[in-house]
Structure 1
Amino acid sequence: MDKRLSNRKKRVPNFRLREAREQRGLAHKDVADFIGLPDSHTVGRWERGESFPQPHYRQKLTHLFGKSAEELGLVKARFDEHTQQPEAPPEPSESRQTPEYIWKIPHPFSSFIGREQDIVTVSSLLKRSSVHLLTLLGPGGVGKTRLSIQIANTMREHFIGGVCFVSLASIGDPMLVLPTIAQAFGMQESGSQSIIEQIKSVLRDTSFLLVLDNFEQVVTAAPLVEELLTACPGLKVLVTSRT
């Protein structure tokens, strides 16, 4: 028998990994970027059963998708040549709603040098389970916005649900804060749910970083942010403000 044909028969496609990626709305390149993989084609080879991720990447994948190695089909025995035929992917459950990964951060037009320690300090605080709201205070022009963008980029792998930067610079009415967040999420209006309930439905069951820039202009909207934090245990909010 031709050796190449024999090798193809031994392949066991990883349906679980593919399903987890598709549920998040991620392309192979997105997954590769999130886990620090140089070649995005490798993700496709993992899904087709042509190769198997090293322990470092297996750990990254479980963190990204919030699933165990077994749930992602990352148990080495599945790829052994004696493994039986791969199981079919489970039927999707109508009751299980998995929001797509949200990644909306402005692209910086300049390099960022000299505030590495600030990035490390703030990132470490945001990783603490006891910290859900963190505010960067300072006068205008000191670089709070640029720092928050860099922190968001640095922490993209830490939040399974995503990271979103929302500028409030052009808003003076606190009642516009939630519609602005919903717009950043790409939400459509729904007559059956309020805006805050729609936002909660996206953030409730995942880990997410929401950056609210220039919050001093809408500070009376703080109770709305507090309501989101109460309803969504995996939500972290990074605020920049002059006061």
Structure 2
Amino acid sequence: MGRTAAVTPATFTSFGALLRYLRLRLDMNQRDLAIAVGYSESQISRLEQNQRLPDPDTLLARFVPALELDEEPELVARLMELAHAARSRPARPPEPAAPPPEPAPAAPVFAPLPAPPNALFGREQEIAAVAGLLRRRDVRLVTLTGPGGIGKTRLALAVAAELRDEYAGRVAFVPLAAVSEPGLVPGALAQALGVEVGAGQSPEAALQQWLRDLRLLLVLDNFEQVAGAAPLISALLASAP
């Protein structure tokens, strides 16, 4: 009669292998774990392939609770031991990235995102959190709020750049600083996106028709000053896929 060896902490000789085992035993995919710990899905993938160095403090603060290890000190100890071992040697070079998918022939071509004046430092956690929300199937609208000057636009641009390939380049940035009335927002959106408004057609109807079969990440900057146009956004979300 055959026997199956029991899985113990010592079974695993690399951090990535143990992390993958702990994730799969909870029936989690990489996206589930990424959302739970505030990472991007690609960061989780690189950790499991031993291509990214694990951070011990983050493991204890986020990964241990997310992986339900609070009552399993032996697994926690082995996870931390392998994490420290991984940090003592160079990470494996990443595999060549697969080429991004070709955009659909009928899809419009969008202008490049505005170039930031300088590099963005220290916002990796916020970028991963917002990108994680936008990757969820049940989340279609994310609002960044806060006082002026704290970097909401800069963060939104960084998230848009992070997700650009996942949207096959269909990422649009629409500045609304020059729009003072909510009633002018439909026309401003149509103009910024290059949507043709037919004779006798309202800009809102033209936008709904244009967005109906298009998967798009739309960044609206300074929307707070035209918040009265919120019903328009609700209507566009209802008509878009």
Alignment of 1:61-76 (within 5 A): 61=101, 64-65=102-103
Q: How does 1:1-243 map to 2 (within 5 A)?
A: 57=98, 60-61=100-101, 64-65=102-103, 98-160=106-168, 162-233=170-241
More divergent stretch after superposition (185-194 vs 143-152):
185-194
1:108–1:116 Cα change, 3 Å: same
Which ranges in structure 2 are unaligned for 5 or more consecutive residues? 1-95
Post-superposition CA distance 1:143-164 (Å, at most 9, x none): 0011111111111111147111
Percent identity of paired positions between Structure 1 and Structure 2: 42
**Alpha-carbon separation, structure 2, partners of 1:184 and 1:146:** 19
Of structures 1 and 2, the larger Rg is shown by: 2
Separation of aligned partners in 2, 1:203 and 1:125:
21
Amino acid at match of 2:176: L
Tell me the distance in 2 between the aligned counterparts of 1:164 and 1:145.
Answer: 13
Contact 1:161/1:203 (8 A) holds in 2: no
Q: Using structure 1 for the length normalisation, give the TM-score.
A: 0.55
Cα distance in 2, alignment partners of residues 159 and 206 from structure 1: 10
**Quick one: structure 1 residues 186 and 65, their matched pair in 2 at CA, closer, same or farther if it must change by over 3 Å?**
closer
Q: How far is the alpha carbon of 1:98 from its aligned partner? A: 2.6
Give the whole-Å Cα distance in 2 for the aligned partners of 1:126 and 1:114: 20
Q: CA RMSD in A?
A: 2.3
Show structure 1 runs of 5+ residues with no match: 1-54, 67-96, 234-243
**1:197 to partner: Cα distance:** 2.1
Inter-partner Cα distance in structure 2 for 1:99 and 1:201: 14
CA distance in 2, matches of 1:104, 1:181: 16
Q: Given the two structures, how large is their TM-score scaled by the length of structure 2?
A: 0.56
Aligned residues: 147
Structure with the bigger RCO (C-alpha within 8 Å, sep 6+) is: 1
Amino acid at match of 1:196: E
Displacement of 1:56 in angstroms is 6.1
Higher strand share goes to which structure? 1
Q: Output the CA distance in 2 between the equivalents of 1:193 and 1:160.
A: 29
Higher helix share: 2
What residue identity is the alignment partner of 2:217? L
